[in-house]
Amino acid sequence: MLLTVRNLSTYYGRAQILHGVSLSVDDGQIVALLGRNGAGKSTTLKSIMGLTPPSSGDVELRGSRVNGKKTFEIARLGLGYVPEDRRIFTRLTVDENLRAGYRGSPAAFDDLLARMLKLFPNLAVMRKRFGAEMSGGEQQMLTVARALMGRPACLLFDEPFEGLSPVMVDRLSELIVELKMTGLGILLAEPDFKVAEKIADRVCIIESGMIKYQGTAKELRDDSAARGRFLAL
């Protein structure tokens, strides 16, 4: 298994947010973490990345424990993260943002950059544009490309479709599927099942910091009772 999360518990101060969260992601698989706002989706991803260190539980990447390490160390081991608020460097150009995300030998940079610009043709024509001059959708694409410059084995997306136009939602969905086809494992936090079901292989539903449901996207689509109970659909 590529990414394994076991019995993860996380606190904000004295308030416990995650209660024994367990899930897994395999190579070339998209797993959607579904739930209402405040259910614990973002905290799960931040706990996996070490941004909000869990108080107990384990996070393993290809069988090696990574929790307890610093976020940059976890990233170097092969976990990428696309935050909800994008966090691009607005005063840097597209090229400079991509270079900032690169991990590897200097000799390999140009080849990887060329692959990213082929994968993101819109970015190829705005390489000298500053982040502050880009639309929300363009910034999101840049955030994904920058994460991929770190050459991750597994990529965590925190509500990547938030605030995007329907056209950009479709484009980003297609891109995520393309990345899956390369063997990348993807954990996608998303509140809207209608968006997630189009691309996800498996789904997990989190409620009040606990995983309440796991199954395939088709199984959840056919289970109106579960969708009504946990997702208000």
Q: Give helix 166-181 / helix 136-148 axis angle, nearest 10°.
A: 10
The pLDDT score that the predictor gives to residue 128 is 95
One-letter amino acid at 34 equals L
The pLDDT score that the predictor gives to residue 56 is 96
For the chain, the structural domain boundaries read: 3-90+153-230
What CA–CA distance (Å, rounded) separates 71 from 162?
A: 24
Q: Three-class SS of residue 92?
A: coil
Whether residue 38 contacts residue 24, with contact meaning beta carbons closer than 8 Å, is answered with: no
What are the mean pLDDT values of the chain's consecutive 10-residue runs (233 residues total)? 97 96 97 94 97 96 94 94 88 94 87 90 93 91 93 95 88 92 96 92 96 94 86 68
Which residues, 6 or more positions from 87, have their beta carbon under 8 angstroms from its beta carbon? 143
pTM: 0.93
Q: Tokens in use for 227?
A: 């969708």
* CATH architecture entry for 3-90+153-230: 3-Layer(aba) Sandwich (3.40)
The pLDDT score that the predictor gives to residue 57 is 97
Whether residue 81 contacts residue 114, with contact meaning beta carbons closer than 8 Å, is answered with: no
What CA–CA distance (Å, rounded) separates 80 from 218?
A: 27
The pLDDT score that the predictor gives to residue 106 is 85
The pLDDT score that the predictor gives to residue 103 is 85
Q: Three-class SS of residue 180?
A: helix
- Opening angle at CA 231, ends 227 and 233, nearest 5: 60
What is the gyration radius of the CA atoms in the chain, in angstroms? 17
Whether residue 182 contacts residue 207, with contact meaning beta carbons closer than 8 Å, is answered with: no
What CA–CA distance (Å, rounded) separates 20 from 22?
A: 6
The pLDDT score that the predictor gives to residue 163 is 84
